[in-house]
Amino acid sequence: MKAAIGKSPGLAVVLVGQRRDSKPYINIKLRACDEVGIATMVEELPESCTESELLDVVSRFNEDPSVHGIIVQLPLPQHLDEEKIMTVVSPEKDVDGFHPLNMGNLALRGRQPFFIPCAPKGCIELLLRFGVQISGKRSVVIGRSKIVGLPTALLLQRHHATVSTVHSFTKNPEQITSQADVIVSDVGIPNLVRGNWLKPGSVVIDMGTNLVKDTSSRHGFRVTGDVCYEEAIKVVSAITPVPGGVGPVTISMLLSNTLDSAKRAFRFT
Amino acid sequence: MKAAIGKSPGLAVVLVGQRRDSKPYINIKLRACDEVGIATMVEELPESCTESELLDVVSRFNEDPSVHGIIVQLPLPQHLDEEKIMTVVSPEKDVDGFHPLNMGNLALRGRQPFFIPCAPKGCIELLLRFGVQISGKRSVVIGRSKIVGLPTALLLQRHHATVSTVHSFTKNPEQITSQADVIVSDVGIPNLVRGNWLKPGSVVIDMGTNLVKDTSSRHGFRVTGDVCYEEAIKVVSAITPVPGGVGPVTISMLLSNTLDSAKRAFRFT
């Protein structure tokens, strides 16, 4: 794009406070942008910032024509109204796809959101690239977060899967998951999904990212998913590992959303 | 409200063309408004009207402070872009709850849409009033229309049900419905749901409205739902009949949405 029209896509990242666990995610995103030629702007605000200070920053990026994507890193400190702030991000720059207008357009067949949330989009991309049939298949999404579970369920349904969502109120979730051809988990509980939760030959996408203690590791912990990989691998036909599975694809989808937004802004096709 | 502040809620109905099957619905809505003191305005446009003529009418109602709810009767003639027109209805007057912003806010827990679509709202209202537990229960929605199926599934999930949606791509839907405690159907196929599709003791909400030939009837046809009532009644603990079940409740929800909108506009609590 830069070579063709002399312009680059731009991604703005808004960080509030110094959450230790957010930093690695942000750094991975920034590095990935750098590698593919997306300009990045990072605005760091102190933990104590007011809502109006944060809204001012978001509004400025909304109006800045060099910015095509805006990420407000979640979670925000308690005193800030996350829902309100996400609504102020322009739907046309909402590369995370969390704005209710984008979510509504994702839910409604026949409509197109400006952006699909990155992790769910990555999940479907993986299934499609590996030739996994989605249409007409039983699929279960474990977890109903607005970031992953909900949009993944909506997106699977758009691809004509028969979707069930199980969550913390569900009794005997294994009865439902064991009937599914495609299982997506994002609940943040290590080893929740055991081998006997899964149908032989099914496909599992593990979106969980959990830190568990591991004295044998240099850091004292290791990253694991929601699925007991050792048991699952004996039952399923395919499974994404954690780490290394959906994570990198999710980052690619962020780059893809930002590029799409820039193309739209510059009317570059 | 009229007695207290001298003002009435107002509902505007936009009709395009002369669809024979839309007329009875409209008349029921208008009569119900009349009975409870909601002022109604009906704008009829010819089948051949242009998109911009229709959009002008909607925009005028958006700006009219005496109008608190706007209904554009669906379906619209083929040459009009239904999705575009629904997006132009102000979300704050969208008493049908079909605007993508309202649908997104319905999907996202922690957010509140201005309006919940009337039929799904009526469905939940019925379940709650009859003391049917929703939270933690297996529920199946048959059909995924944006008017009924989709928002009903989203709403059941908001009430912490474990929700599965089955649709035309689903193989052996009876395997899924027969595990459900609560079944909602809205597909428009008479007698689709048979007795053996249902779990003993379950609760069935039949949202289907189908005209079937009946030579013994004065009109030559009768109205029936999606569920084979005679078989279902022997299996389930409760079922809504068609006609007379969800229909009247849906109309009440339209009145309730319009009243809520007027209260919000007049800051009347």
pLDDT in tens, B25-50: 899 999 999 999 999 999 999 999 99
Fold classification of A118-245 is Rossmann fold (3.40.50)
Residue A2 pLDDT class (50, 70, 90 cuts): confident
pLDDT of A23 higher than 90: no
Comparing A23 with A104, which gets the higher pLDDT? A104
Asked if B103 is an interface residue toward chain A (Cβ–Cβ < 8 A), one would say: yes
Question: Which residue of chain B comes nearest to A179, CA vs CA?
Answer: B176
The Cα A187–Cα A224 span in angstroms is 12
Alpha-helix runs per DSSP H in chain A: 2-5, 22-36, 51-63, 82-88, 100-107, 118-129, 149-158, 173-177, 229-232, 246-266
The Cα A170–Cα A80 span in angstroms is 31
pLDDT in tens, B63-88: 999 999 999 998 899 999 999 999 99
pLDDT in tens, A217-266: 888 899 999 999 999 999 999 999 999 899 999 999 999 999 999 999 99
pLDDT of A88 higher than 80: yes
Q: Assess whether the region B2-90 and the region B118-243 belong to the same CATH fold.
A: yes
Q: What percent of chain B has pLDDT over 70?
A: 99
Interval B107-116 mean pLDDT:
96
Asked if A164 is an interface residue toward chain B (Cβ–Cβ < 8 A), one would say: yes
Chain A residues with CB inside 8 Å of B111's CB? 83, 100
pLDDT in tens, B200-226: 999 999 999 998 999 998 888 999 999
Q: Judge: domain B118-243, CATH 3.40.50.720.
A: yes
The Cα A117–Cα B5 span in angstroms is 46
pLDDT of A3 higher than 80: no
For chain A, domain boundaries? 2-96, 118-245
Query: What is residue A18's predicted lDDT score, i.e. its pLDDT?
Result: 79
Interval A143-160 mean pLDDT:
97
Question: Which residue of chain A comes nearest to B135, CA vs CA?
Answer: A169
Q: What percent of chain B has pLDDT over 90?
A: 88
Query: What is residue B19's predicted lDDT score, i.e. its pLDDT?
Result: 74
pLDDT of A1 higher than 80: no
- SS (HEC) of A45-58: ECCCCCHHHHHHHH
Chain A residues with CB inside 8 Å of B176's CB? 138, 162, 164
* A84 in catalytic set: no
The Cα B124–Cα B205 span in angstroms is 10
* Assigned token pair, B225: 């739902």
Question: Of residues B93, B94, B96, B199, which has the active-site annotation?
Answer: B96
pLDDT of B269 higher than 90: no
Which residue do the tokens 């590791």 mark?
A217
Residue B7 pLDDT class (50, 70, 90 cuts): confident
ipTM of the complex: 0.93
Distance from CA of B215 to the nearest CA of A (A): 38
Q: How many CB atoms lie within 10 A of CB A156?
A: 25
Among A127, A128, A64, A123, residue whose Cα is nearest residue A97: A123
Question: Which residue of chain A comes nearest to B91, CA vs CA?
Answer: A101
Asked if A101 is an interface residue toward chain B (Cβ–Cβ < 8 A), one would say: yes
CA A125 to chain centre: 12
CATH of A2-96 given 3.40.50.11740, 3.40.50.10860, 3.30.70.1560, 3.40.50.970: 3.40.50.10860
Asked if B79 is an interface residue toward chain A (Cβ–Cβ < 8 A), one would say: no
**Interface residue of A103, A139, A174 to substitute, partner B, most B CBs within 10 Å:** A103
> Which class is B2-90 in CATH?
alpha beta
**DSSP per position, B141-208:** EE---TTTHHHHHHHHHHTT-EEEEE-TT-SSHHHHHTT-SEEEE-S--TT-B-GGGS-TT-EEEE--
Asked if the Cβ–Cβ distance from A165 to B163 is below 8 Å, we say yes
